[in-house]
Each structure stands twice: as C-alpha cells, then as structure tokens.
C-alpha cells in the first residue's frame, strides 16, 4: 500500500512486485538461451530430495522390508511412464503381451498384501502454447541423435526398437492410451486376482481417473484433472 501511494512510477512498482505477480515461481527457472523464452526449469534429482528429507528428520526415518501389520488394505501408487521406462517392454513380443506382463510385474514387485494399484500417467495432449513441459521437450530434442517415428500401438502389433519407440512423446501417449483401454476392456487382470485398479490421466483427450472396484469401472471425479501434465504431482492427489 505504501508503494502504491508513493511517487514511484508504475514501471518501478511493477519491477518491485514482479516476483509476486509472476504466474510461476521464478526461483524454479534459470537462464537458458536455447529456449524461446530465454529460461528453463531447474533440474533436480529425486534421490537428492530423499536424502535431504532423511537428513532433516534423522532418527524418525525408518526403512523396513515389510509394511507394518494392519487390517487395512495396502496400496501402491505408480508413475506409469517411470515404471515402463525402468522395465521397458518386459521381453514382450507384442503390445498386447506387454499390457499383461506389466500387471504381472506389478504384482511380483510389490508387497504380497498389496491389492490396490494406482497407476498414474503423464499428459501429452496439452497445447504447446500452454504446456509447461514444451520448452524442456524442445531442449531435449536438440540433443537427440535418433529420428523420431510414430508407431501404431495395438494388441497384435509387434514392439519396435525400444529406444526409437520411447523417444517420441506421441508414442508414449499412444502407449498409455492402449494400456488403459486394454486393462479396462479385459478386466481379468483385476477381477480374477482380486486387484483394485485406479488409472489416472492415461486416456487421450481426457484427464479422467478410472477405478475398477467391486467388479466395475467408474470415474473418480476427485482425481480427474484434464490439464495437469505431471504424473509426479498428480500422484499426490492419489496419495491423499
């Protein structure tokens, strides 16, 4: 209020308040001449954040091989593309094989008592003018030596060279769409083995979260968001 009533010209006041008025926290960005806007988001390693948290809470941090005993159901919340990037095609020949092998690997990877899986996907359909990840994608594409090719993702389609396939955001989007449709159309992966599945933001042109519980699929409005791109932060909604 003091500044507003002062004799400072408007451009000086604007410069003073530029950090409060910016739509995104400026401390998250750094100068980058390779991008159209002249800056890019700072990079962080997730393991570094974990180490920082551990150092802050010291003795309160406990790592165990087993979940504590509880009458409640256990759930796993998975970043779909991070899981796929780590395990790749799981030695599958076709995308149909891959869709079932992912479910099998999930069951084998997580705690035996875990019967609820939240599988959350990144969004790739945001307009380039609105996407917070567009500049980063442009930056990465400048360092690629592979020529991106788009592939048809279908149940009987053979999986092409993995690095070539996964280098394209369009292929990632098509893969997440295929997996979600495949799991929703063939509920044997959940109904026969007693799993509850939550698929967050994996469908094209839709930010809906679908849940398979009690033998039926239905949308979960509280977990649906059309414009949120990042699976990492969308997972926090599933956590709470």
Closest CA to 37 of 22, 48, 52, 47: 22
Q: Is 164 inside a domain boundary?
A: yes
What is the percent of the chain where pLDDT is above 70?
69
Q: Average pLDDT for residues 71-94, to the nearest whole number?
A: 91
Burial 52-62 (b: 16+ CB within 10 A, else e): eeeeeeeeeee
Q: What's the pLDDT score for residue 215?
A: 81
Mean of pLDDT values over 66-71: 74
pLDDT digits (tens, 9 = 90+) for 195-214: 889 999 888 767 789 998 88
Domain assignment present for 111: yes
The answer to the question of residue 92 being in a domain is: yes
Q: Report the range out of 159-173, 186-200, 217-231 with the highest average pLDDT.
A: 159-173
- Asked whether 153 and 171 are in contact (CB, 8 A), the reply is yes
Query: Confidence band (pLDDT; 50, 70, 90) for 240?
Result: confident
* Helix 80-87 / helix 95-109 crossing angle, nearest 10 deg: 100
Question: Measured between alpha carbons, how far is 170 from 173 in angstroms, rounded to an integer?
Answer: 5
User: Sorting pLDDT into bands at 50, 70 and 90, what band is 147?
Assistant: low
Contacts of 54 (CB under 8 A, 6+ apart): 61
Q: Contact, 94 vs 109, CB < 8 A?
A: no
| Residue 69 covered by a domain | no
Cβ atoms of 124 and 174 closer than 8 Å: no
What's residue 101's pLDDT?
93
| Distance (Å, whole) CA 13 – CA 2 | 11
How far apart CA 44 and CA 24 sit, in angstroms, is 17
Residue 89 lies in a domain: yes
Instruction: Report yes or no: 201 and 123 within 8 Å, Cβ to Cβ.
Output: yes
pTM for the full predicted model: 0.70
Tell me, yes or no, whether 85 lies in a domain. yes
Q: How confident is the model at residue 158 (pLDDT cuts 50, 70, 90)?
A: very high
Range of the domain at 160: 74-239
Q: Say which residues have a Cβ less than 8 Å from residue 28's Cβ, sequence separation at least 6.
A: 41, 42
d(CA 54, CA 68): 20
In a domain, 90, yes or no: yes
Residue 132: what pLDDT?
67
pLDDT at res. 192: 53
Give 1's pLDDT tier (boundaries 50, 70, 90): very low
Domain count, the chain: 1
HEC sequence for 26-68: HHHEEECCCCCCCEEECCCCHHHHHHHHHHHHHHHCCCCCCCC
Given a contact cutoff of 8 angstroms between Cβ atoms, the answer to whether 165 and 159 are in contact is yes
Residue 212 lies in a domain: yes
């Amino acid at each position: 209020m003091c500044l507003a009533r002062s004799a400072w010209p408007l451009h000086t006041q604007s410069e003073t308040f530029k950090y409060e008025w910016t739509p995104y926290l400026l401390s998250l960005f750094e100068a980058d001449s390779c991008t159209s806007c002249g800056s890019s988001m700072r990079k962080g390693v997730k393991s570094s954040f974990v180490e920082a948290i551990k150092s802050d809470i010291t003795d309160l941090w406990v790592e165990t091989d087993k979940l504590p005993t509880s009458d409640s159901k256990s759930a796993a919340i998975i970043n779909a593309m991070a899981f796929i990037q780590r395990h790749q095609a799981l030695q599958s020949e076709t995308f149909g094989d891959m869709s079932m092998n992912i479910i099998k690997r999930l069951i084998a990877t997580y705690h035996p008592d875990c019967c609820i899986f939240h599988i959350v996907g990144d969004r790739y359909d945001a307009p380039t003018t609105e996407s917070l990840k567009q500049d980063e994608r442009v930056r990465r594409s400048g360092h690629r030596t592979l020529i991106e090719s788009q592939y048809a993702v279908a149940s009987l389609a053979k999986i092409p060279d993995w690095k070539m396939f996964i280098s394209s955001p369009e292929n990632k989007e098509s893969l997440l769409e295929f997996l979600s449709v495949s799991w929703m159309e063939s509920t044997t992966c959940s109904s026969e083995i007693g799993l509850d599945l939550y698929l967050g933001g994996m469908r094209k042109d839709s930010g809906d979260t679908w849940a398979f519980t009690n033998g039926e699929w239905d949308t979960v409005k509280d977990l649906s968001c059309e414009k949120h791109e990042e699976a990492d932060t969308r997972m926090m909604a599933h956590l709470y």
